[in-house]
Each structure stands twice: as C-alpha cells, then as structure tokens.
Amino acid sequence: MLSALFFYLFAIMCVGAAFMVIATKNPVHAVLFLILAFFNAAGLFVLLGAEFLAMILIVVYVGAVLVLFLFVVMMLDVDFAELRAGFLKYLPVGALVGLLLLVELIFVVGAWVTAPMLVSDAPTPNMSTVNNTQALGEILYTRYVYLFESAALILLVAMIGTIVLTLHHKRDVRRQSIAAQVGRTRDAAVEVVEVETGKGLK
Amino acid sequence: MPVTESLNLVAILPELVLAVGAMALLMLGVATREERGDLILWLAVGVLVVAGIFIACGEGTETLFGGSFIVDPYARMLKLLCLVGAAVSLIMSVPYWRAFGGMRFEYPILLLFAATGMLMMISAYDLIALYVGLELQSLALYVVAAFKRDSARSSEAGLKYFVLGALSSGMLLYGASLVYGFTGSTEFAQIASAVQPSGANLGLIFGLVFLMAGFAFKISAVPFHMWTPDVYEGAPTPVTAFFAAAPKIAAMALTVRVLISAFPALTTEWQQIVVFLAIASMGLGSFAAIGQRNIKRLMAYSSIGHMGYALVGLASGTVAGVQGVIIYLAIYLVMTLGMFACVLAMRRDGKMVENIDQLSGLSRTSPRMALVLAILLFSLAGIPPLAGFFAKFYVFLAAIESGLYALAVVGVLLSVVGAFYYLRIVKIMYFDDPAEPFEEMPASLAIIAGVSGALTLFYVVYPAPLVEAAGVAAKALF
C-alpha cells in the first residue's frame, strides 16, 4: 500500500517534471526540471529494488551530465525561443512518431522470447542472499575483471587522445606560480627610495 | 561469489607489461615535459621488446578470465609479429620526427596502447573481449592518424578514420548482439557448441555477416576499404607505416580466430563471404593502384590487395590455409616495413616527397636504396624466388587443396595485374632519367630496409623456421 503510494508519487512527479522540461521557457529551468525528473526516476528504481541503478542515476546523470548541461546552456548563447518557434506546427508529426514508437515497443514486449541457454549460463550470484549492488560488484570484479579493466584502459586512451589533439601549450601565457609568490621576500618586492623635495624620481 | 579460479596473471604478463609500461612512461613524460620525446620513444621500444620476450617464453594453451582470454601458440606467433611491426615502425619514426618536428611524448605511448589492444584482440576468446581489445586499438590509432594536428590532411585522416571506424564498430556490435541472441553466449567455445551445422539459423548468419563487415573494415577488405587510401595519405608517414604493418595483422588474426574457433559449423556460409571479400580486394588492389602517383596511396591499395591474398588462405578453412595466412602476414610485415623504410627516406631539400616520379633514376643516384626497393617490389609482385612468391604460393596451394579452383585462378590472374604497377616503379627507378638525389638515408632506416630486403631475398634458402612455427600456430586453432 505504502509502496503503491510512493510509486504514484514518484511517477506523477517524474512525468510532470519531464513535461515541464519541454514546456518551460527558460532553458536553465528546463535543466533543473530534468534533475527533478531524474531524482524521481531514481526513486522508482529504489522501489523496484534496483538501488544500484538509482545511485548511478543520481551520481552520473545528476552529478555529472546535467551539471555539464547546465554549463553548456549558460555558456552558449542559444536562442531557445527561436528553436521552439515551430512547436505547434510539428506537433502532429512528433505525436505520430511517438505513437509509432509506442506501438513498436508494445510489439517487442509482446513477442519477447529469451534464448533458452541465456538464463542458465549467466553467472549471477544467488539473488536471495545478496543485494544487487553487491551482486554486480561480485561479478564485475571477479568474472569480468579483465573486461572491466580493459574498459578503463580505453577511457584512459580517450583521455590522452583528447589532450594530445586539443591542448596547446602557449609559451606567452602567464601562469600563477604560487611557490614564487610565497617565496618572494620583502627585499625583492619593496624598495625604499628617498626622494628629494622638488626633484622627483628619475 | 568468491573467486573460484585463481587468477593466473603469468599468461597475460605481456599485456600487463605493455599497459603498465605505457602508464609509467606517461607519468615519466608528464614529469619531464616534452623535450624528452626521444627518451620515451626508446623506452617504449624497450617495453615492446620485454613484452615480446615474455610472449616468446610462454608455452602451452591456457584460457583465463572464465574463458574470455586465450593464450595459445597461434596467439603467441601473431602477437610477436604485431610487436615486431610496432617496434620497428617506432624506430623508423625517429629520423622523421627529428627532421620535421611535431613529435610529442604521447606518440610512443599511444602506440603502446594500440599494441596492447592488438594483443588483446589476438587473444580474445569472447565477443566482449574482442570488442574491448579492438576498440582500445582503434581509439589509439584514430588519435595517431590525426597526430599532426596543425596539418589539415592529417586531421582529415584522423576524423575520417574515426567516423568510419565508429560505423564499423556499430556493425560489429550489431552482429555480436545477434550472435549472442541466437547462441546464448558470447564465448567462442560455447558459440561453437551451440551452432548446429544442420540448423544454421538465418538470424545467426545475419549476425555473422555483420561481424564480418566489422572485421572487413579493420583489415580494409573491399567493399569496406574506402578509408584506407585517404588515411594512409593524410597520416604522417611513420604512422602510415605503423598502420600498414601491425593493426592489419591483429585484425586478420582476429578474423581468422573468430571464424575458425567460433563458427566451425558454418564454414560453408562464411566461406562465401570470405571468397567474395578476397576476390574484390585482390581486384581493387590490383586495378585501382595502377593510376596512383602518390607512393603512400599506392601502398594503401597494395595493402588492400595483400589482405585479399591473405583471405584466400582463410577461405580454404583448413589448417594449411591458416598456416598460409600466418606465413603471408609474416612476409607481408617484413616487406611493408622495408618499403616504408624506403618511403621515409624519400627526402629532398628537407621535405618529404611522395610522388612516384620522384624516384626516377634512383639506380644511379642511390643504387643501394634502388636495389632494396627493387627486391621488395619484385617480392610484393610475387615473383619467384623472393619471399612474396612463397607467401602467395602457400595460400593458393591451400585454396586448391580445398577445391576453390576458381578463387585460386582469379587470384593468380589478378596478381599478374598487380605486378604491373610494382614493376612500373622498378622501371622508373632503373630506366628513367635521374632526378636530383635524395638526402642521405638515415642509418636506422638503411638498416631496416637492408634487413627487410635480405630477409625477402634469402627466405627461399631457409624457409623452415617460419613454415614450422606457422604450422604449429595454425594447428592450435583446430
């Protein structure tokens, strides 16, 4: 009963926030509504018992991706009013595409068959004794450690590649050198000059 | 679930050495700043050599990580070839970077990561492991293709390679997901046991075709070759030398392993695809190269053609065929590295020249370079008694033994067509009026070209070690 209550709470909030993402005029508000939608979706995941996905959704999407969105929205000068201009004109086409996708999804879900060997072969731990975060960890860091580490290597190469291709070391850029700042003594910085009246500094 | 199998890291020591070595050199490079590019490069060569020694010391067959990684004689042989390709092309790049600048310490590090990816590809025994290795290799290659980021052509090469590579990865993954869906496993051994020859499922064949499309892109077999000439021409020449050598071998090794280990029951099905790829590649490699004036583009078409000949061996699907493929790859590696050592020495007035006409009269201005080039070109054309002839001989023999007469005949005819453009270069070098002489060949390039020429020339005297090693390696797959 209580979980049903929460389900409807999260679901309604999620759908409402998602609608506001496309309805609101201010792009910053849109991103904030998207964050709200993700929080509610995370709540739905918790209700399903998939707490790992819930955490990932918050940490990765809210913590990283949406903050990036926010930066982009604030830094780029995009005229969202212009982008939205044809909204009503394209609404029928958009609705049609959405409807078709929905029908296709229903067909896929209706005709879903899992290959018979698939379930038995999957090296899943006993789900009645461990929660899903632990289960994922136990598979990921034992059976699939090789693939996990290789994926990390790929990300490292991507990072190196980005830096190699885009970073320009400019010679004439003045960088802050804290050591030089702190190590500077009074003698090096201040000079006391006796100025004779009427002559000024040379 | 506790760790049920003890982790035996000895078997993946070469990969570990490469990955950890690359990371250590990265730290060293960051700490010492860019002036030390040369030091990092030589240390990277050292890492490759150490990894090679570990590979050569390995024995037997072993699978690790729940059957997603296999170490067998086949893997060891091809890994060694890849490492030789990577190390030699690294050494060859030294004079180039010294003369033209643009070297940063990330270059050898990216090559090390690419080599790690290749080793992982060759040892992959699982579709996910395969993809992870492939992507590690490709990502590093995209970056080095665009390494001269101030040059528009280099950037274009990198971008083109990246976009088309991403497309091919998509096809490969689509195929892999279909194969997984229809067999219920990503491991090659289990895929092989799940596939019944009688009930070859249409969906499974569909998946196989998409997998093959992804592989064909990586070995640049026709009709997935379009990126090759542009990338070879645009990338810095030492990078092109690397592209032509090591990644081709790794991708071909991967293709052979997947088809032979995971789909032995579908041999008749994939044979058709391989025969088509082989004929198309040999044909395009022969005819399209005729009009080329740029030596790097010509080498690109030449490599397309050579991958076609190697596929002839695979098409037979027998031990002899795979043995032929391995021998072909080894000889191709030696010839390609020698060719690129000469291409890298084509320098005049402090600039690289890439036009074939610039080679005219080379026999009089630098007779030794002309001789080595002539030997390599005759060998690439497949003229006996040079190594290139034997490479073709083994694959065609394997094709004939398994009854693929048409394929063998077409292949021989097309290799005659291909001989034309190789021999035209020889004619330009020996019978045309001499152009201005090139700058003196750097010692490292001269040694590499000389060794390559000597190996090509004297292979006929003592072919046994390569043939036997390839035989042992090929048997490990069946």
Residue B3, pLDDT score = 44
Asked if residues A58 and A40 have their Cβ atoms less than 8 Å apart, the reply is no
pLDDT digits (tens, 9 = 90+) for B268-287: 888 999 999 999 999 999 99
pLDDT digits (tens, 9 = 90+) for B410-435: 999 999 998 998 999 999 989 988 88
Residues of A in contact with B132 (CB under 8 A): 147, 150-151, 154
- pLDDT the model gives residue B2: 43
Other beta carbons within 10 Å of A100: 10
Name residue B187's beta-bridge partners: B126
pLDDT at residue B5 is higher than 60: no
Q: What is the pLDDT of residue A2?
A: 87
The percent of residues in chain B predicted with pLDDT above 70, rounded, is 97
Q: How confident is the model at residue B100 (pLDDT cuts 50, 70, 90)?
A: confident
Place of tokens 């990072």: A159
Of A117, A142, A163, the CB nearest to B184: A117
For chain B, positions 303-342, list CB contacts with chain A under 8 A: none
A131 touches chain B (CB under 8 A): no
Cα angle, residue B140 at apex, residues B137 and B146 outer, rounded to 5°:
135
The total number of residues shown for chain A amounts to: 202
End-to-end CA gap in chain A: 89
- Predicted pLDDT of residue A117: 57
The band of B34, judged by pLDDT with boundaries at 50, 70 and 90, is: low
Q: How far is A118 from chain B (nearest CA, A)?
A: 5
- Distance, in Å, from the CA atom of B293 to the CA atom of A132, rounded to the nearest integer, reads 61
How confident is the model at residue A184, as a pLDDT? 87
pLDDT value at residue B455: 92
| Burial label, B161 (beta-carbon count in 10 A; 0-12, 13-18, 19+) | buried
Section B35-46 average pLDDT: 85
Q: Which stretches within B124-226 are classed as H helix?
A: 127-145, 152-183, 188-194, 202-218
pLDDT at res. B7 = 64
Q: Report how many helices (DSSP H) and strands (DSSP E) chain A contains, helices first.
A: 11, 0
Separation between Cα atoms, residue B476 and residue B478, nearest integer Å: 6
Q: Which two tokens stand for residue B16?
A: 């570990």
Name the residue facing B135 among A143, A154, A169 (closest C-beta): A154
In chain B, positions 9-28, which contact chain A (CB-CB < 8 Å)?
A: 12, 19, 23, 26
B355 φ/ψ angles, rounded to the nearest 5 degrees: -85, 140
CA distances from B146 to B99, B154, B164 (A): 19, 5, 14
Answer whether B474's CB lies under 8 Å from B74's CB. yes
* Tokens 């000469």, located at residue: B342
pLDDT on residue A42: 94
| Interior angle at CA B331, CA B327 and CA B333, nearest 5 | 115
Residue B162 near chain A (CB below 8 Å): no
Residues near B148 by Cβ (< 8 Å), separated by ≥ 6?
B102, B154, B155, B236
Which tokens is B192 given? 């092989």
More confident residue, B279 or B349: B279
Cβ-Cβ contacts under 8 Å between A and B: the total is: 85
CB-based contact A164 B104, cutoff 8 Å: yes
The DSSP-derived string for A162-199 is HHHHH----TT-----HHHHHH--HHHH-------TTT
CA-to-CA separations, B437 to B353, B361, B365, B434, in angstroms, rounded:
12, 9, 5, 8
Establish if A123 touches chain B: CB-CB under 8 angstroms: yes
> Cα distance from B185 to chain A (closest Cα, Å)?
7
pLDDT for B379 beyond 50: yes
Range of weakest confidence among A182-196, B46-60, B188-202: B188-202
- Would you say residue A103 has pLDDT above 80? yes
Q: How confident is the model at residue B160 (pLDDT cuts 50, 70, 90)?
A: very high
Q: Does A154 touch chain B (CB under 8 A)?
A: yes
Chain B 399-418, residues with CB within 8 Å of chain A CB atoms = none
Which has more confidence, B173 or A175?
B173
Given CA atoms B213, B171, B159, B40 in this order, what sign does their dihedral have?
negative
What's the average model confidence in pLDDT over A149-163?
A: 94
Contact B255, B326 (CB under 8 A): no
Q: Are A18 and A27 in contact (CB under 8 A)?
A: no
pTM value is: 0.87
Residue, of A88 and B468, whose pLDDT is higher: B468
CA gap B56, B53 in Å, rounded? 5
Could you tell me which chain A residue has the CA closest to the CA of B185? A118
